[in-house]
Amino acid sequence: MANISEPYVIHYPRIVAVADVAGTTVELIEFFDCIGGAMWSKLHYAQSPLVEDVRCVGATMRYLLKTGTVDLALEGSRFPAGISSCQVDGDEIAVTYIGMGGGGVGAAACRSDAAGVLRSRCDPAGGGKIAGATVWLPRMQRVLIGVDDTDTPEEGATWTLVHNIARAVEDERSIYLSHTIVQLYPVPYRTKNCVGLVAEFATSDPEGLVSRFHKLLETYTLSKKTGMAVYSGFALSEELVAYGHRVKRGEIDAGELDSLRDPDLRIIMNGRGIVGAVAAIPFFTRYDEALELCSGKT
C-alpha cells in the first residue's frame, strides 16, 4: 500500500500576482491541482468585498482584487473562507486568506508553499479551527505578445510555434499564463484558416522576455511577413478592443494600425501579419469570442 505523506494537504502548484501601475488593482492567478477545491474557493471567495471578479481559465483561477484589508464575517457553509487583505508594497504583493474547517486548510497549508511564494505566515489548520495565511508574491506585470503569419502554404503552423516559444522563454521571472487562438476575417491572402495568436505572461523582466521571444520567432518563422506586437498594459484600451473587432469582421486597410495610439502597444516585427498580431491581443483568454468566425460586419 502506498503511503501519503500529507493526507490533508493539497499543494497549489503556483501562485502569481500582477498589479496595475497605481498598485490599486491586482489579478491573483492561482494554478490549481484539485479542481473541486478551486471551484469551492471560487464560489466562496467571491463574497469577499475585495474580490471584484473571479473566473476559471484552464488550470488557473483568477481573482481580480482591489487593495485593502477587511474583516470577514465567516459562517460555516454559507461563507466559510475568503480573502481578507491584498496589499501592494513596492516590488511585493501580500495576500491574506482565512477560512474555517477545511476552508482553513485551503487558506493556510495548501497555498503557503506554492511556487512563486516568496515567504508566508501560516496558522495551524484542520478540524474546526479558523486558520489563515499571508503569502508574499513578486509584483509582476502582464505582457501580451501577439503574433501572426509565421507559416507558408507548404509548412508550419503559427499556433504551435507560439506555444513552443512561450514554453521555451518561460522562467521564474516570466510565467507563461495563457495561449489564445483568435479567428480573424478570412482575407484572400491568408495561408488557410486566418488566425492570429496571443500569448499571455506575468513577468518582472518584460524587456528580457520580449527580447528572448523575438529572437526565437525570428529564428523559427518560415515567413517574411511575420508580425509581432507587445502589449504591456494591465487593462485593455477601448481603442485596441475596437480595432480587434474590426479585424475580425472584415478586411481592413493596413494603414488603420498607424492611427492606433496606445502607449502600452509596441510593434516588434512589422510584416503584413502585424494586423492580425495586434488584433489578437484584446481577445486573450476570451476563448469563445476569440474563436467566433464573423461574416462581414455582423
Residue range 147-180, pLDDT digits in tens: 999 988 778 899 999 999 999 999 999 999 999 9
- Identify whether residues 129 and 155 lie together within a single domain: no
Residue 87, domain extent: 14-138
**CA-based R_g, the chain, Å:** 21
Residues 6+ positions from 211 with CB-CB distance below 8 Å:
none
Q: Specify the pTM.
A: 0.94
Q: Name the 3-class secondary structure at 34.
A: coil
The amino acid that residue 37 corresponds to is G
Q: Distance between alpha carbon 211 and the CA centroid of its chain, in Å?
A: 20
- Tell me if 192 is assigned to some domain: yes
Q: Name the 3-class secondary structure at 65.
A: strand
- Identify whether residues 160 and 179 lie together within a single domain: yes
- Tell me if 20 is assigned to some domain: yes
Question: How high is the pLDDT of residue 95?
Answer: 98
For the stretch 94-103, pLDDT in tens is 999 999 988 8
Q: Which of these three, 138, 155, 174, is where a domain ends?
A: 138
- Tell me if 153 is assigned to some domain: yes
Cα 71 from Cα 83, distance rounded (Å) = 10
User: Which region among 35-39, 119-123, 150-154, 292-296 has the lowest average model confidence (pLDDT)?
Assistant: 292-296
Question: How high is the pLDDT of residue 178?
Answer: 98
Number of domains in the chain: 2
- Tell me if 158 is assigned to some domain: yes
8 A C-beta contact, residue 117 and residue 98: no
Q: Which of these three, 138, 159, 190, is where a domain ends?
A: 138
Q: Which of these three, 138, 154, 188, is where a domain ends?
A: 138
CATH (domain of 214): 3.30.70.2200
- Tell me if 4 is assigned to some domain: no
- Identify whether residues 145 and 62 lie together within a single domain: no
Question: Among 126, 113, 202, 112, which residue's Cα sits nearest to residue 166?
Answer: 202
